[in-house]
Amino acid sequence: ILSFNHSNEKAMNLMNNSNHIKSIKATYERSKRYFGIEVGSCLSINNILSIIFYTDYDDLSSKFSQTFRQVNNEETDEKIKTRNLEFGNLTKYLQQTVNVFGTQVQDSKINIYYHGISFLYLNKFIAMFNSPTSTTTKLSVAYRFAQPQNGIIIELSKQSEHLRYFNCSYFSNFPSEDERLFIC
């Protein structure tokens, strides 16, 4: 409860006192149709809290992200969805925040995003953002997350004109990570 109260206080402070946060508006032209949010709307407290929970609580973020992936080859899509239900509201608000209030990749001045992975098991590689994917614009930050002996850094360049990300650095306890969140 203490963590929630602290996060809620942080979110309220950002929402009420940050001109930058107040300036973030819904820009996705289909936001009303898909998310029930009018173009031009401001971030809600739930949108802000979802980013804070994702960026500031590593264990929560890790457990949450794992609910988007198979734990073994026998796990069905239905079982993955059932595991993710525990985080239903976090999923809903992160998807809203990224897709409604985020930046369209083609409109960004950023050309390369880095994603550090501490371990990697590949039997195939298909880049999709169906699960939360944190990236950074700083190679040095990705390097820290890759843990050099076992990890890998993936360099992503903008390819899809429809892909959106959300700049989390204004919300995070770790603004130097310059985190950009992708999730579809």
The H-or-E segment that residue 35 falls in is: helix 31-35
> pTM score, two decimals?
0.86
Residue 118 has pLDDT above 80, yes or no: no
Per-residue model confidence as pLDDT tens digits over 10-67: 999 999 999 999 999 999 988 899 999 999 999 999 999 999 999 999 999 989 988 9
Residue 120 has pLDDT above 90, yes or no: no
Give percent above pLDDT 70 in the chain. 91
The H-or-E segment that residue 153 falls in is: strand 152-157
Distance from C-alpha of 86 to C-alpha of 56, rounded to nearest angstrom: 19
